[in-house]
Amino acid sequence: MIPLEHFLLLSAALFAIGIYGLLARRNAVLVLISIELLLNAVAINLVAFATYLDPGRIAGVILAIFVITIAAAELGLGLAIVLRVYRLRSSVNVDEVDALRW
Asked whether the beta carbons of 50 and 8 are under 8 A apart, the reply is: no
Q: C-beta of 42: minimal distance to other proteins in Å?
A: 11
SS3 63: helix
Q: How many residues bind other proteins (CB under 8 A)?
A: 68
Q: Which amino acid is at 52?
A: Y
Handedness of CA 7, 68, 39, 32 (dihedral sign): positive
Q: For residue 42, state whether it binds other proteins (rule: CB under 8 A).
A: no
CA dist 75 and 63 (Å) reads 18
Q: C-beta of 87: minimal distance to other proteins in Å?
A: 7
Q: For residue 17, state whether it binds other proteins (rule: CB under 8 A).
A: yes
Which residues of this chain interact with other proteins, rule CB under 8 A?
A: 1-2, 4-27, 29-30, 33-34, 36-37, 40, 44, 47-48, 51-53, 55-56, 58-62, 64-66, 68-70, 72-77, 79-84, 86-87, 92, 95
